[in-house]
Structure 1
Amino acid sequence: MTITSLPTEERAPERRAAAPRSGAGRRRLYQWLFVAPALVYLLAFFGYPLVRNVLMSFQEFTPRTYFTGEAPFNGLDNWRGVLDNELFGDALWQTILFTVGSLVGQFTIGLALAVFFSRRFRLSGVIRAVLLLPWLVPMVVSAVVWRRIMDEDHGILNSFLETLHLSGDGVPWLSSPSVALLSAVLVNIWIGIPFNMVILYGGLQEIPRELYEAAALDGAGPWRTFRSITLPMLRPVVTVVLVLGFMSTIKILDLILALTGGGPADSTQTLGTLTYQLSFLQLDFGQGAVVGNVLILISAVFAVLYLRINRSDNQQGR
């Protein structure tokens, strides 16, 4: 009897070990099943277009391709054509100016408004709701309205400046190559302020009030309190606002097309408008894909930067 029972006793630990392994495998399978729809969506609507865009940048892709299906590989010809194009360098520099100017203006004014509204007063909620309107209006509509406002001859803005005796002949907001890009930046700042204000306002509400009370007891002034408490505690939110703002600003197309069309004299041409011009006006889809890939690469670099900063902040918080 003892001899026959030994194999059963030896198999028992194996069965007990196999049960957790099978349970863990089943849980892992369930996890992948829950994630599978999101993965399929990402691969279908983001992965496939991205791969096709990369391949297109190495092909001679023309309107004829849609009828014949032939898009022969031409190596780096598309990339050379874009890099040798003087307009690409100008568009890259103007994209940098447009993005940096927009982010600085949106963040500075948005933070100032968030701090202002963090002190509750009568009708503060109503005023915040009104300030959200530029964010809710479609960007094309905002651009068309501002195009009328900034009209050199009949615009409200020049009429207002003339009333204040600040300008006599009228400022060529959209018709001068030296002013048009600044005008586009100002309009984009107006559109992006509500987003910055809302996100930063939410971050300010998460800062414990006890910290401000302790700072007041220590005799810290408003600027010292803002620099020593508000900004450090707001750092994770600031990172999110700047990165998301950068990724949405660098690829703006509809605002500039409706406001200036990339002119005058290509002074407001950005990488987004250059992609549109090469692909849909010149019908050179290969070179348009190259500029699109440059935009994707720049956005990916900042996305990785955001993830690394966010990870380091989480590790410091632990």
Structure 2
Amino acid sequence: MKKKSIFKNNKYTGLWFILPALIYMVVMIGYPLVYNLILSMKNLDVKTFKGNTAVFIGFDNYKVLFADPVFIKSLINTLLYTVVCLVIQFTIGFIFAIFFSKKFKFSGFIRGLLLVAYMMPMSVTALLGRNMFGVSEGIINDLLLNLHLIKEPISWLVSSKTAIWAVIFTNCWVGIPFNMLLLTTGLSNISEDIYESASIDGANGLQKLFYMTIPLLKSSILSVLMLGLIYTFKVFDLVYIMTSGGPNNATEVLATYSYKLSFGQYKFSMGSAASVVLFLCLFIVGLFYLRLTMNEEAN
């Protein structure tokens, strides 16, 4: 008697399809995460690496890390950078999405031009941002001077007070088209019949927005905010190219600080500890997102 093929059993067919992805996740993501966690609990640096004398020291690296004022500064900068970027990107992106969802001449062409900023590599965007905020040849200073909003050029990337805002502006330039694109897709899935029925019942524009558009876009809004938070929180290339975390650690974020500890000061375990903190922050956000998604599906 022939054995029944495992692929004919619906109970196991799905498992065979996800097995390659599971193996890839374990090898390419799971192993580096576990190795990084173990490395953060050792005293691996240049001396111990050369002599192969690194030993397990537990949470001592984390104690030193949280006592480091530069780390605390990088954590605060990361939170400030993420929150401000999310608010600006989502607000303007949502306004643009509603505006371009209306059918008018050249709407598709203009929307395509706005997406150019999102399609460029982040390294190119960072170089453009660094040139735009230059003191003598930057277009930002030229524009403000011509509008008589300032009397002399501002040292955007040299001053500790303005450097973080220059980086935030550059990131928003990329993030706004991203938010607009995803929200426009969500708006396109809302039937026009709903708005027509609301107009017959006497609803005005604001009532349609707050009682119809936003509730119907809840899942899209949640996805946009979570993706934006993850991409913004782990920023590295934009900050590193524009300011390298300076001046005076004014733009230092968790990713750049972890990189400097590992490959600048060769404190590999300390750098791993900083990256573990970054991972835990994003992991908590991911759990929160899954919880909200599960509750929404259950309702």
Q: Check whether TM > 0.5.
A: yes
Aligned amino acid, residue 202 of structure 1: T
Q: C-alpha separation between the residues in 1 aligned to 2:13 and 2:101?
A: 44
1:41 to partner: Cα distance? 0.1
Aligned to 1:81: 64
CA contact (8 A) 2:39 2:272 kept: yes
Pick one of 137, 158, 161 that aligns with 1:154: 137
Aligned amino acid, residue 11 of structure 2: R
Unaligned runs of 5+ in 2: none
SS at match of 1:311: helix
Number of residues of Structure 1 aligned to a counterpart in Structure 2: 297
Aligned amino acid, residue 255 of structure 1: L
Pick one of 215, 228, 243 that aligns with 2:198: 215
Matches within 5 A, 1:55-74: 55-63=38-46, 67-74=50-57
Q: C-alpha separation between the residues in 2 aligned to 1:281 and 1:234?
A: 45
Q: C-alpha separation between the residues in 1 aligned to 2:168 and 2:26?
A: 35
RMSD of the alignment, in Å? 1.8
Matches within 5 A, 1:189-268: 189-268=172-251
CA contact (8 A) 2:262 2:268 kept: yes
Would the alpha carbon gap of residues 84 and 192 (structure 1) be closer, same or farther in structure 2, given more than 3 Å must change?
same
Aligned to 1:288: 271
User: CA offsets, 1:172-231, max 9 Å, x none?
Assistant: 211111111111111111111111011000000111111111111122111111011000
Q: C-alpha separation between the residues in 2 aligned to 1:90 and 1:103?
A: 20
User: CA offsets, 1:20-61, max 9 Å, x none?
Assistant: 9x9799443433222211111000000000000100110112
1:69 to partner: Cα distance? 4.5
1:75 to partner: Cα distance? 1.9
SS at match of 2:217: helix
TM, length-normalised to structure 1: 0.89
- What is the percentage of aligned positions where both structures have the same residue? 36
1:122 to partner: Cα distance? 1.3
Q: Tell me which moved more, 68-77 or 177-186.
A: 68-77
1:155 to partner: Cα distance? 1.2
Q: C-alpha separation between the residues in 1 aligned to 2:86 and 2:270?
A: 28
Aligned to 2:79: 96
CA contact (8 A) 2:6 2:12 kept: no
Pick one of 247, 250, 270 that aligns with 2:253: 270
Aligned to 1:15: none
1:142 to partner: Cα distance? 0.8
Aligned amino acid, residue 123 of structure 1: F
**1:30 matches 2:13:** yes
Aligned amino acid, residue 119 of structure 1: K
Pick one of 95, 107, 113 that aligns with 1:124: 107
Aligned amino acid, residue 179 of structure 1: T
Unaligned runs of 5+ in 1: 1-18
SS at match of 1:296: helix
Aligned to 1:164: 147
Q: C-alpha separation between the residues in 2 aligned to 1:68 and 1:45?
A: 28
Aligned amino acid, residue 269 of structure 1: E
Q: Tell me which moved more, 208-217 or 247-256.
A: 208-217
Q: C-alpha separation between the residues in 1 aligned to 2:62 and 2:42?
A: 10
Aligned to 1:113: 96
SS at match of 2:54: coil
1:66 to partner: Cα distance? 5.3
Q: C-alpha separation between the residues in 2 aligned to 1:265 and 1:23?
A: 62
